[in-house]
A and B are shown apart, each in its own frame.
Chain A
Amino acid sequence: MRRSTGTVIGAAAVALATLAACAPGTDFGPASNGSPPGHLTYAYFTDGPDEKVTRDLIAEFERRTGATVDLQILPYSELEQQLQGRLAAGHAPDIARLTNLSPFRSDLLNLSANGADIGDQFLDQARETTSGPAGETVAVASDLTMNGPLVNTDLFARAGVALPPKDRPVSWPELLAKAREVQQKSGSPYAIAFDKSGARVAGLYNQFGTNYFGTDGAVQLDPAKAAAATRLFVDLNNDGTMYRDFWVQSGTKYEGADDMFLREDVPVYFSGNWQMGQFDQEARFGWTVLPNPCAERCGGFPGGKFMVALRQTTNPRLAAEFVAFMNSRQAQEKYAEKAHFLPTRKDLLAEGVDYPRRDAEMDVFLDDVRRTDPAAFSSAYSPGMDSTADAVVDELAAAIVGRQSVPETVARMRTSAQEALEASIP
């Protein structure tokens, strides 16, 4: 009996020791995802309307090259973990769509060395982020987003308030005065709304002359300028201009204020161009887009995604060719038109894109891209951006409820940004 128990325990120990061989830091041998020749896998997350056009473009690539591409749609919230798991196991996809390159820097394929000479065709502000240590292209900024105010034109009309001009930005006090007048006269519960997002308020900081991170990659957040922006935001929440609960409740979870805008609870809503498709279908009222208001400077805050090929690919030239094709002028124009994204190619940015729907609104966003300070792009593409943005949401909520003063809030934001940067850089 005792001997049998010993045998069972021994067998269990051997099984555990075998399993423990997969402990952290294990070398999985030479990286190779094992895609057969002429086949690519593309790990993708979708914002909605972009999926169909992505599939159409893939079909076109397959027709042209005879290759096959397996589009693997992943939930955005799990993208980073899933990709890391697959990289660690040696089964990475050939291509991926990412929002943050820094966790994957050492895994990115040198596109220039694999026949895709596409580095200089894209937004200069993203160049540093998409380049490797020797200046080689390791990623392409595949689409661009821009924050900005969307306005309910019906509420403005009902209140008898003239819309601010669409061709030139107004100041913050001017926009606020109009929004409050509409709130008062139309009876809407609030005057403005911001998505609960550190990226959305980053536009406000940029307009007040500072950013989370500067062009040198270091933490910026000028204390005086950041305090002025923070004070305005806190006041807007506490004087009834904004719905205070929205920023205080629900933790650090992202929450869009699109529901409030669609319910006509606010005449002015700070979000971005990715809302175009949704509002075009769902809004039962007239709406348009205005340029971002100006404080010390004008412009908004950018965001966007990158397309990369991963070094584990067994088809590096085909992978580089795919990235080049998907970001060719023709493909990117089609992608931008259908998905209501802004282009990242310099030629398309200069000439503009003719959007079949909401073209005038998309032009407002494009004009704001041109007005936006370059440091905003550095901040948006910083490896510390994501966790800083989460921390900013927390700190602003604490300031709104009066748990901490505005200078304390800014100091804590700076500390969080510094910690985020240190934790994100390998």
Chain B
Amino acid sequence: MTTTESPPATSVRPPSARKRGVKPWNQRLAPYLFVLPNMLVFGVFIIYPALNGFNISLYNSNNGRAFTPVGTKNYRRLFTDEEFWQAAGATVIFVVAFVAVCTAASIGLAMLLTKPIRARGFFRAVFFLPVLLSPVVVGLLWSWILERRSGALNAILGAVGLPEPGWLVSGPLALGATVFVGVWAHAGFYTLIMMAGLQAIDSSYYEAAHLDGAGAWHRFRHITWPLLRPTTLVVVILAMIAGFQSFDFIYTLSGGGPLGATTLMVQYIYEHAFQSPIQYGLAAAGSVVLFCTIFALTVLNFLYGRRKESM
């Protein structure tokens, strides 16, 4: 047994707050006051609608009014709805293709547009321009181009003696067309991010590799790709979220047709929320499922990215 002697009472004077380095209350509060406006906006326009959306998914709304609690009925209905599964399937195909093509295209374009080529500024503007267009305009523009009989694309194909397919009439072709138009509209933005990532790579790596006689492929594989991985992860996550949320340009391009082949989950939600009979509960349940899917995939992507970083 050991005993310790208490120090004399007079020597137990606590150090002053200032001595411990603790700031006065008004200084401690200051950072929170700076973020408060953003937090309020975030709470009112993001957190509250999200929570309320979940709440609404537990109600049945006949014609959009007279809300009655129904528990998980909307979720059960959702998961037994053939149309929902068709939309979910189309969404998965669209997102996988969109993310893959967008990422590859943005890497390729970024590498091309960081090279000292002639009229580089012009080409950068050309590839970025679609990002500035309204998605509705993008959809309408391409629907005119892809129309089988009067569209510009088939007019060109016909003129050179090639077959003139119904781009928006056959399911697989229409889904392919929506992916293409989506990439066309979004790739400029991801290219910009990739260009920033490429410019952050120290040129001395390339110079050293060049001196060692490494070819273009080896330079890409052993320098560009590993150092671009964090940027690629950001692009993949952003493209994935954009893919899951795609609606406006598809609605004006194909209307979700033919026969629901390009109806993605957001359109399914839109149709149930805003077309008669209005069923807010079912639409909200669809939104919750979509949110959970995007959230889970984003977290997985981050975890995967972090693991790769630590390896």
Contacts and interface: CB of A to CB of B under 8 A. Distances in A.
Nearest to B61: A24
Interface in B158-191: 166, 168-169, 174
A8 interface: yes
Contacts of A397: 257-259
A248 B258 contact: yes
Interface stretch (B63-71, B120-128, B220-228): B63-71
Interface stretch (A36-44, A79-87, A371-379): A79-87
Given A249-B168, A249-B254, A424 B52 contact: no
B297 interface: no
Most chain B CB neighbours (cut-off 10 Å) among A24, A77, A84, A189: A24
B28 A12 contact: no
Given A424-B276, A426-B66, A243 B59 contact: no
B47 interface: yes
Interface residues of B, number: 48
B276 A387 contact: yes
B149 interface: yes
A387 B277 contact: yes
A16 B13 CA distance: 44
Q: Number of contact residues on A: which range applies?
A: 35 or more
A8 B32 contact: yes
Contact of A245 (B29, B169, B260): B169
A12 B23 CA distance: 24
A80 B65 CA distance: 11
Contact of B59 (A16, A19, A24): A24
A15 interface: yes
Interface stretch (A114-122, A199-207, A250-258, A358-366): A250-258
Interface in A368-388: 386-387
Nearest to B48: A19
B79 interface: no
A261 to B, nearest CB: 14
A25 interface: yes
Contacts of A78: 274
B148 A25 contact: no
B201 interface: no
A59 interface: no
Most chain B CB neighbours (cut-off 10 Å) among A22, A100, A251: A251
B148 A252 contact: no
A121 to B, nearest CB: 29
B278 interface: yes
Contacts of B29: 4
A12 B39 contact: yes
Question: Mostly helix, strand, loop or mixed at chain B's interface?
Answer: mixed
A397 B257 CA distance: 10
A313 B207 CA distance: 78
A250 B279 contact: no
B257 A250 contact: yes
A77 B273 CA distance: 12
A250 B168 contact: yes
A4 B274 contact: no
Interface in A1-51: 1, 4, 8, 12, 15-16, 19-20, 22-25
A100 B257 contact: no
A189 B149 contact: yes
A202 B55 CA distance: 39
A390 B51 CA distance: 32
Interface in B256-275: 256-260, 262-263, 271, 274-275
Contacts of B256: 251-253
A198 to B, nearest CB: 12
Contacts of A403: 259
Given A23-B55, A103-B64, A245-B149, A4 B277 contact: no
B279 A423 contact: yes
B43 interface: yes
Interface in B201-229: none
Given A103-B64, A250-B254, A16 B56 contact: no
A249 B64 contact: no
Top 6 nearest A-B pairs by Cβ distance?
A251-B255, A24-B67, A251-B256, A251-B257, A253-B255, A103-B63
22 contacts: A4-B29, A4-B32, A8-B39, A12-B39, A15-B44, A19-B48, A23-B55, A24-B55, A24-B61, A84-B64, A102-B63, A245-B148, A249-B255, A250-B258, A251-B258, A252-B256, A386-B276, A387-B276, A387-B277, A394-B260, A397-B258, A426-B63
Given A253-B251, A253-B257, 14 more contacts: A4-B29, A12-B39, A15-B44, A19-B44, A20-B48, A81-B64, A103-B64, A249-B174, A250-B258, A251-B262, A386-B276, A387-B277, A397-B258, A424-B277
